[in-house]
Structure 1
Amino acid sequence: MRFKSIIAAALIGTTLFTSTGCKDDFSDTNTDPSVINKGDIRFLFTNGLLNFEPQGYLTWYYNAAYTTRWVQSYAATGSNGDMFNVMGATGGQGGMTVEVLKSAREVSYLLDNMDPAEAAKYQYIKHMFSPILVYLGMFDTDMYGDMPYTEAVMARYTNPMLLTPKFDTMEELYTIWYDQLVEAVNVLSNPVTVNGTQITQTALGAQDFVYGGNAAKWAKFANSLKLKLAVRLLHQNKAKALAIAKEAAANPAGLMTSLNDDFVYNKGSQEYHFGDDVNPGAPSKQLVDLMINSRDPRVRFFYQKNDFNSKVVQAFFDSNKELPSYIAANVESEVVNGKKVFKAWKGAGEPWVRYYGIPVEVMASQKGEYKDYFDSNLWKISMGGKEKTYTPYAYFNREMVQGMKDYTFPDAPNVSVTQDIVDQPWYGMFYSSAEVNLYLAELKLIGADLPGTAADYFRNGVELSVRAYDKLANLNKIPYYHSVYDANEKSIKLVDGEVETLLANPAYQLTGNKAADLEKVYIQQYIHFVMIPNDQFVSARRSGVPMVNSTILPYVRFSPTVDYVIPRRFEISAVEKSDLMYDIKMAAYARQGFSVGTNNDPVKLNTERVWQDKGAPNFGAGPNF
């Protein structure tokens, strides 16, 4: 089925709860054929999958701009200001589970009121909802704590209508979600039978645009998602977390182990994710330095090359303008016929010399030693009556999250503009075999009874992460992947032997020292999650990595004189007394020890922690297991 047809059908299915019944069905019930009142379960599933969105525009525009700076993954391009730890608006998180739960509730209702033999045909579809609901449930509660779930979206199905659902505690939710995953894995891994007769399951095909209706892959995804739950349990119930890991690893459904298992999300050939710009800033200097020094290919997929290709370098020479010092250090020039000309790249060479991070210190722009990172007048030249400013550091690769983006290739100011203006369908990755292996490495080091070694899980996790992001860069056709603009630059695509070179680096190897190995595992989670900012924040929050004084990836003091307190959750706005849920909400917040309407006080948002975060180390303090 063409994607537009899927969308249309899905929208009809959820908005009107309809199906494409035949005339005989209508005549049997003496109903006007223009009045459709029963949803098509396949379309409802597609609609639920369409509404699965843990990385939407608001999440990137608001939330990621906070969390990525708090954990020193990014910094503001004008330098972090002294209010960087004070929140403003947020969005796209805290209520995303409900958007999928609407479709899941309707499917359950339809099946409950269907002939059992007919309902049995849809058991796989019903249980495919479970892992995406659990995923979004973790996402929503990560920053906001307890939420309605077991009684949520039940008004349509209750009499009297349930309009005031209870808040389930995070502790309860983690148990509920694990049980949901266990049930889903069991159903999806086995034939469905009624009275001893195996029931053929309704096929989804292209209406499942993630796994094509492959129940075995959904079972593997659900089983692997148990590990995402387990690591969030470590500070509250370590024994249970390790038991979950052991059960998942031994489960016949298997764990995600290859790129083909990854939860790669693409709605269709004309789906671009979102159109408005998002920009969390520029990557931190310490993170980019680690990746460049280690020759980590992911630096090329996460970040856009800077504007200083050899054409721009030559334009600076022709304008008698000095290059930023860190760029000049990698440029070899010569004098030809009395003219200074670009000869070659020094250092690591292309493409590595096009990636630089910026300092994360508060008000770094006011420090003279950092002027080349923040004084845009130093990056500006005029030629032929035209002026242009060039960005010397790497920046957020928007085409990894947005398909509808144009890119202008950098050149001298007086040269006609060349652009990549082709819109590309967007491919995103929400869960991966890389993430699974990095969780296995962590859990093994902490004591889980698992069949593999921490070192093997770690190596697999790093390699799978590199290859997964290379695959996404290829699918999203980001600039410089398939072609280059400047004769002196190279493609960013993964090259044979690069993974082996990376894994030979001491920072990317486990040695048997538990403390050092745990830090390395958490650093790799941190790097893998650059494009999944909520998970990056949660990993840093529960691990205390990056660590202060680390020799691999240090957590830098934001100021030598001020100890900035970093929030560990998001603010909960004041509740209006007219809100039907007022008493329930206020009781839930009080139970968790949350202040409401805190005016974004960083101290309160640091000390009033969500349940999974209680007992976790401070930012930069390192693991405390």
Structure 2
Amino acid sequence: MKTKYKAWIGIVAFACISISSCKKEKFVELNTDPSLLDKITPEQQFMNASIRMNNERSEWYYDNVRGIMPWMQMATPLTGNGVSFVTESGNLKNTRYNMFYPGIGASFTDVLHIISQMSAEEQAKRVHQVAIASIVKAYYAFYVSDINGSIAYNEAFQGKYGGTFTPKYDTQEVLFDVLDTQLKDAILKLTSTPEAGQTSLGAQDLFFKGSSSKWVKTANAIRLRMAMRLMKRNPTKMTTRVQEVLATPANLMVDNTDSWTFEANSNIADGGDWSVLSIRAPRPVVDFMYTNADPRIRFFYQPNYFSQANFDAAKAQGKIASNAVYDAKRYYGVATSPDASAAPDFAKFFNSVTINVTQANGLPGTLVLDTLSNLQPKLFAAGENSGTGVNFFPMVTYADFCFMRAELAARAITGESAKDWYDKGVTASIMMYDDMANRAKIVDRENKSNYVAATPSEITAYLAKPSVVYNPAKGIDQIACQAYLHFFKQPSEAWALYKRTGYPNATSVLPLEKLIAQGTEQVIPRRAALPFPTVSNLNYQNIIDAYNDMKKDPDFGQGPSDIFGRVWWDKK
């Protein structure tokens, strides 16, 4: 089952990335010298900023692979989680914050400023461009605030235009209101009849080629995501916003072609910090997916090396016992609890067998047969080992939208069918990863293509499994666990889901392990460590004031650097 959506963007993005790389120095100059802004078009600056949102490898490596994914049991290092893996994950660099200031936030501000300096006639032609740039800027501000709390926004990015270089911080509560208003305003601009014909962003919109209807759907999905962050703080306001969003069905996502996903050629993620070659699959998730015949298991993970042929060769060469019985199960994950992975009954899985083989060039060689599964590297870095597939960076997808609607229905916030939206979400997720795996050109451990398309019958069978078939008595648990699986490529959203709902956990339908290290259960971090400014920092006082204000909340923790403290929306 293949969903051919936005295939064009891989080619376009590759071209744009090449252009962007060649002009990196000029891009930096343009972001610091306002006198040069008349030398770049709003379309070019929108494209440059869009690329920068997704091409930062250090965010992937430090914040996701070394931080969020181990915390959320989405992956482990090669030999499992170490006893201090939670505190070591204090290496989470909070890259999104450093990318927003001054880069991404300033770049989208530039787009808006460039247009504001045009003639009234030209401004009238770029109402849609202003709306689209505002949507992306609002989303990224939300993404930054999500793990940081208060941030500078209303007064930020204005210094080079005559504004302040010392912007005050907006509380997360205020910011969420401001961003929701901006998204509503953008939707209104895009759905109203403009006074003049609109100048499209065209190919320099690497997401939707300037499609107003697609951007309206994305903005509404972002509004829904933001509204659900209010669930523990202001459920009344959340319900009002949810009802507003869902009131106009024509402005809502309807299938995977509406997903907001950045796609690019293999060059943008070609190994290095993008690589998951040495990242293991997690036992709890692998076992759940294998037991329930989830088609996504072959898209997420590589099977181990013990094919029937390799097993037979190992037996013939005396490397394993002659009476050994072949195990057809080739997906085994690593115990995510440090103590469990070090226990003797599991430690044996780390043992490997080396067999003699004939290499592709006809010369003799050896092959190490590993019993454990790794993450599928080309799904995360299509350029790994000279791959030529497509890279995917999902931000807000149709499946995500379906799961949000399913949860809202299950909580009786809407009158919709939770089961219908749950089934749609699972189906859309499987279809999305099927398409990603196909176009990323996934391979097995011996570098041979192993993409096998998901079929309608597989999806139907999966939805009928006892642990998967929708049961209203445990509906929110099931919805959250399926959303968690779907966020395989969006670890930050899996983390947010856990913080908001408490799922998945050790007793959920997808049971995670209790993370025990040297007999002590580990606590999962809740936010980024906030850097303490030096006295020489131009905005020192505003930063300190913001921290002091956040510290008034007893959930904030022991101080700015406390990763176990909470931001405003993450109320206990």
TM range (shorter): 0.7 to 0.9
Pairwise CA RMSD of aligned residues? 3.0
2:142 is the counterpart of 1:138: yes
Q: 1:178 aligns with which of 165, 177, 180?
A: 180
- Matched to 2:96, the amino acid is Q
User: How far is 1:113 from its partner?
Assistant: 2.3
1:23 is matched with none
2:293 is the counterpart of 1:317: no
Structure 1: gaps (5+ residues) = 19-30, 194-198, 332-344, 346-352, 407-420, 616-625
Contact 2:67/2:91 (<8 A) preserved: no
Q: 2:98 aligns with which of 92, 95, 99?
A: 95
2:350 is the counterpart of 1:374: yes
Per-residue CA shift, 1:424-455, capped at 9, x if unaligned?
Answer: 342332221100000011112223235x3111
Q: 2:414 aligns with which of 418, 431, 449?
A: 449
1:51 is matched with 52
1:85 is matched with 86
What fraction of aligned residue pairs are identical, expressed as a percent? 25
1:339 is matched with none
Larger Rg: 1
After superposition, the Cα gap between the structure-2 partners of 1:270 and 1:371, relative to the gap in structure 1 and judged at 3 Å, is: closer
3-state secondary structure, aligned to 2:413: coil
Contact 2:405/2:418 (<8 A) preserved: yes
2:429 is the counterpart of 1:458: no
2:523 is the counterpart of 1:520: no
- Matched to 1:318, the amino acid is A
User: How far is 1:367 from its partner?
Assistant: 1.5
1:27 is matched with none
How many residues are paired up? 541
* 1:313-392 matched pairs, under 5 angstroms: 313-322=311-320, 331=327, 345=328, 353-375=329-351, 378-381=352-355, 386-392=365-371
After superposition, the Cα gap between the structure-2 partners of 1:268 and 1:405, relative to the gap in structure 1 and judged at 3 Å, is: closer
User: How far is 1:184 from its partner?
Assistant: 1.0
After superposition, the Cα gap between the structure-2 partners of 1:494 and 1:435, relative to the gap in structure 1 and judged at 3 Å, is: same
Moved more, 164-173 or 63-72: 63-72
User: How far is 1:557 from its partner?
Assistant: 4.4
2:376 is matched with 397
C-alpha separation in 2, matches of 1:578 and 1:596 = 24
Asked which structure has the greater RCO (Cα within 8 Å, sep 6+), the reply is: 2
User: How far is 1:465 from its partner?
Assistant: 0.5
Q: 2:437 aligns with which of 473, 497, 506?
A: 473
Per-residue CA shift, 1:45-71, capped at 9, x if unaligned?
Answer: 212222222x74222211222222222
Contact 2:13/2:263 (<8 A) preserved: no
Q: 2:120 aligns with which of 98, 110, 116?
A: 116
Which structure features the higher share of helix residues?
2
After superposition, the Cα gap between the structure-2 partners of 1:7 and 1:321, relative to the gap in structure 1 and judged at 3 Å, is: closer
Moved more, 520-529 or 573-582: 573-582
User: How far is 1:16 from its partner?
Assistant: 5.6
Contact 2:286/2:332 (<8 A) preserved: yes
After superposition, the Cα gap between the structure-2 partners of 1:551 and 1:205, relative to the gap in structure 1 and judged at 3 Å, is: closer
C-alpha separation in 2, matches of 1:214 and 1:104 = 18
- Matched to 1:612, the amino acid is W
2:129 is the counterpart of 1:125: yes
2:220 is the counterpart of 1:200: no
Contact 1:271/1:425 (<8 A) preserved: no
After superposition, the Cα gap between the structure-2 partners of 1:44 and 1:255, relative to the gap in structure 1 and judged at 3 Å, is: same
2:192 is matched with 190
User: How far is 1:319 from its partner?
Assistant: 2.6
3-state secondary structure, aligned to 2:261: strand
Q: 2:299 aligns with which of 278, 298, 301?
A: 301
3-state secondary structure, aligned to 2:395: strand
User: How far is 1:304 from its partner?
Assistant: 2.0
3-state secondary structure, aligned to 1:591: helix
1:228 is matched with 225
3-state secondary structure, aligned to 1:611: coil
C-alpha separation in 2, matches of 1:101 and 1:551 = 40
C-alpha separation in 2, matches of 1:583 and 1:595 = 21
Contact 2:285/2:510 (<8 A) preserved: no
User: How far is 1:212 from its partner?
Assistant: 1.4
C-alpha separation in 2, matches of 1:16 and 1:463 = 46
Contact 1:203/1:213 (<8 A) preserved: yes
After superposition, the Cα gap between the structure-2 partners of 1:239 and 1:6, relative to the gap in structure 1 and judged at 3 Å, is: same
C-alpha separation in 1, matches of 2:549 and 2:535 = 18
C-alpha separation in 2, matches of 1:611 and 1:330 = 53
C-alpha separation in 1, matches of 2:56 and 2:301 = 19
After superposition, the Cα gap between the structure-2 partners of 1:112 and 1:135, relative to the gap in structure 1 and judged at 3 Å, is: closer
3-state secondary structure, aligned to 1:210: coil
Q: 1:257 aligns with which of 254, 263, 266?
A: 254
Contact 1:400/1:476 (<8 A) preserved: yes
C-alpha separation in 2, matches of 1:178 and 1:186 = 12
C-alpha separation in 2, matches of 1:396 and 1:474 = 16
2:565 is the counterpart of 1:614: no
- Matched to 1:303, the amino acid is Y
C-alpha separation in 2, matches of 1:269 and 1:72 = 27
Report the TM-score when normalising by structure 2: 0.87
3-state secondary structure, aligned to 1:233: coil
C-alpha separation in 2, matches of 1:77 and 1:329 = 26
After superposition, the Cα gap between the structure-2 partners of 1:557 and 1:47, relative to the gap in structure 1 and judged at 3 Å, is: closer
C-alpha separation in 1, matches of 2:226 and 2:462 = 29
Per-residue CA shift, 1:79-120, capped at 9, x if unaligned?
Answer: 222111103423322233343322222222222222212101
2:509 is the counterpart of 1:507: no
Contact 1:272/1:403 (<8 A) preserved: yes
3-state secondary structure, aligned to 1:37: helix
Per-residue CA shift, 1:269-294, capped at 9, x if unaligned?
Answer: 75446654433832221111111111
- Matched to 1:316, the amino acid is A
Q: 1:584 aligns with which of 532, 535, 542?
A: 542
User: How far is 1:485 from its partner?
Assistant: 4.6
After superposition, the Cα gap between the structure-2 partners of 1:253 and 1:155, relative to the gap in structure 1 and judged at 3 Å, is: farther
